[in-house]
A and B are shown apart, each in its own frame.
Chain A
Amino acid sequence: MTTVHICPKCEDQVQISQPARLNEIVECAGCHCELEIVALNPPVLALAPEVEEDWGE
């Protein structure tokens, strides 16, 4: 079973397979950001920390 949630970055729909686990990382299909499940019952998604890229800034 999956549940549908909203990506906090791009507002696209994100499907989470149940049962979900706390701190599990899922990927948004809309913006490809990594999301961390920071709470269960109900599930809450937050942006996962990420290393910045630098192409010459």
Chain B
Amino acid sequence: MIRVVVVGAAGYIGGELLRLLIGHPEVETVAAVSSRFPGRRVDGVHPNLRSATDLLFCSADDVEECDTAFLALPHRTAMAQIDRWIARAKQVIDLTGDFRLGDPEVYRRYYGSEHVATHLIDAFVPGIPELHRESLRSADLISVPGCVAMAGVLALYPLAVRGLVEPTAQFDARTGSSGSGATAGAANLHSVRSGAMRVFAPTGHRHEAEISRHLGIAAAMTATGVEAVRGVQTICHATLRPDVDTSAVRRAFREQYRNEPFVRLVAHQRGNFRYPEPKILVGSNFCDVGYAVDEEAGRLVTIAALDNLMKGGAGNAVQCLNIRMGWPETLGLSFPGLHPI
């Protein structure tokens, strides 16, 4: 058993981490750090954990040494605290945006502030098992990507890495309200969100930079908030290189994801769920990917769907932990989702 700490445990991602880690057979969750609720019961904030734990939230100063620290903090907070957590934990798995971008100048452009721990940027391994599995086996610093970025990367990576598409692509992302976090605000009032399809980032979404980094192409993203609590669906529009046909696209996806435990190819001809649909992935760690090709126009459309709090956050972080520890990759992550829901 290893001893783990969740920092920022009162948020949605923190709550999902606790849910997964408390049920994980190789993990003892020893502390749930919250600056807002120290001393309060965890299941008061995360009622789905009633009877699963008697943990109380604690302050960061109360945490002693542990094996692994998960940082589910607000953006910019993790890099300010990173030295503290590196000193206390053998592995740090960061779920903020602070170490996702490899270039501090790109960070400043997308996050609007200077990076304050530039000396550590290169030390973090991107937490994308499908791209960096071998590096993750020995990584002590892991940066888990953003939810929309994860979907966007998995949607196009098989084509981009094989040079089957032109080096620019557009990503149309839809996301549920939990992606905005657990902090109340006027933009998240039910009266504002309900029924809305709000284009909140027509250009310049932060995850755009992550997608460009991992795919090696110029990605442009538009993000829309939709009527859902959980879920991300990213639709990618790209142009196929000359002579690339449907068969080559299909082969690229199959070869790339054949042995991936959490990526499923969904491009079906029948049924109500022919293409990736986040609704049926709620609570699961799967990312479903699909594609369609207009051969005459040379146009490729790929689709990826996931639960933003799972494969887009906490679930993916636990998958990275499993890889780092040499455990079965699916340990503690076997929930298949619900239908109907």
Instruction: Give the total of B residues in contact with A, Cβ under 8 Å.
Output: 9
Across-interface contacts of A27 in B (CB, < 8 A): 270
Q: Does B326 contact A (CB under 8 A)?
A: no
User: Can you name the residue of chain A whose Cβ is closest to the Cβ of B251?
Assistant: A11
- Chain A contact residues, majority secondary structure: loop
User: Can you name the residue of chain B whose Cβ is closest to the Cβ of A12?
Assistant: B254
Q: Does B185 contact A (CB under 8 A)?
A: no
Are B247's CB and A11's CB within 8 A? Answer: yes
Q: Does B259 contact A (CB under 8 A)?
A: no
Are A32's CB and B247's CB within 8 A? Answer: no
Q: Does B191 contact A (CB under 8 A)?
A: no
Distance in Å: Cβ of A31 to nearest Cβ of chain B: 5
Q: Report Cα–Cα, A45/B318, bound state, in Å.
A: 43
Across-interface contacts of B274 in A (CB, < 8 A): 32
Distance in Å: Cβ of B252 to nearest Cβ of chain A: 13
Q: Does B84 contact A (CB under 8 A)?
A: no
Distance in Å: Cβ of A13 to nearest Cβ of chain B: 11
Q: Which of A6-27 contact B (CB under 8 A)?
A: 9-11, 27
Q: Report Cα–Cα, A30/B251, bound state, in Å.
A: 12
Q: Report Cα–Cα, A32/B267, bound state, in Å.
A: 8
Instruction: Give 1 or 0 for each of B264-298: 1 = CB within 8 Å of chain A CB.
Output: 01011111001000000000000000000000000
Instruction: Give the total of A residues in contact with B, Cβ under 8 Å.
Output: 11
Q: Report Cα–Cα, A33/B271, bound state, in Å.
A: 9
Are A33's CB and B247's CB within 8 A? Answer: no
Across-interface contacts of B265 in A (CB, < 8 A): 30
Q: Report Cα–Cα, A50/B271, bound state, in Å.
A: 11
Q: Report Cα–Cα, A31/B268, bound state, in Å.
A: 4
Are A32's CB and B268's CB within 8 A? Answer: yes
Across-interface contacts of B270 in A (CB, < 8 A): 27, 32-34, 50
Are A9's CB and B269's CB within 8 A? Answer: yes
Across-interface contacts of A30 in B (CB, < 8 A): 265
Q: Does B250 contact A (CB under 8 A)?
A: yes
Across-interface contacts of B250 in A (CB, < 8 A): 10-11
User: Can you name the residue of chain A whose Cβ is closest to the Cβ of B269?
Assistant: A33
Distance in Å: Cβ of B131 to nearest Cβ of chain A: 24
Instruction: Give 1 or 0 for each of A22-52: 1 = CB within 8 Å of chain B CB.
Output: 0000011011111000000000000000100
Are B267's CB and A31's CB within 8 A? Answer: yes
Q: Report Cα–Cα, A9/B269, bound state, in Å.
A: 9
Across-interface contacts of A28 in B (CB, < 8 A): 269
User: Can you name the residue of chain A whose Cβ is closest to the Cβ of B265?
Assistant: A30
User: Can you name the residue of chain A whose Cβ is closest to the Cβ of B270?
Assistant: A32
User: Can you name the residue of chain A whose Cβ is closest to the Cβ of B267?
Assistant: A31
Instruction: Give 1 or 0 for each of B293-328: 1 = CB within 8 Å of chain A CB.
Output: 000000000000000000000000000000000000
Distance in Å: Cβ of A52 to nearest Cβ of chain B: 11
Distance in Å: Cβ of B303 to nearest Cβ of chain A: 14
8 A-B pairs closest in CB distance: A33-B269, A32-B268, A32-B270, A31-B269, A31-B268, A32-B269, A32-B271, A33-B270
Binding site for A on B (CB under 8 A): 247, 250, 265, 267-271, 274
Given contact pairs A28-B269, A33-B270, enumerate 6 new A-B contacts (beta carbons under 8 Å). A10-B267, A31-B268, A31-B269, A32-B271, A32-B274, A34-B269
A-B contact pairs, 23 of them (CB 8 A): A9-B269, A10-B250, A10-B267, A11-B247, A11-B250, A27-B270, A28-B269, A30-B265, A31-B267, A31-B268, A31-B269, A32-B268, A32-B269, A32-B270, A32-B271, A32-B274, A33-B268, A33-B269, A33-B270, A34-B269, A34-B270, A50-B269, A50-B270
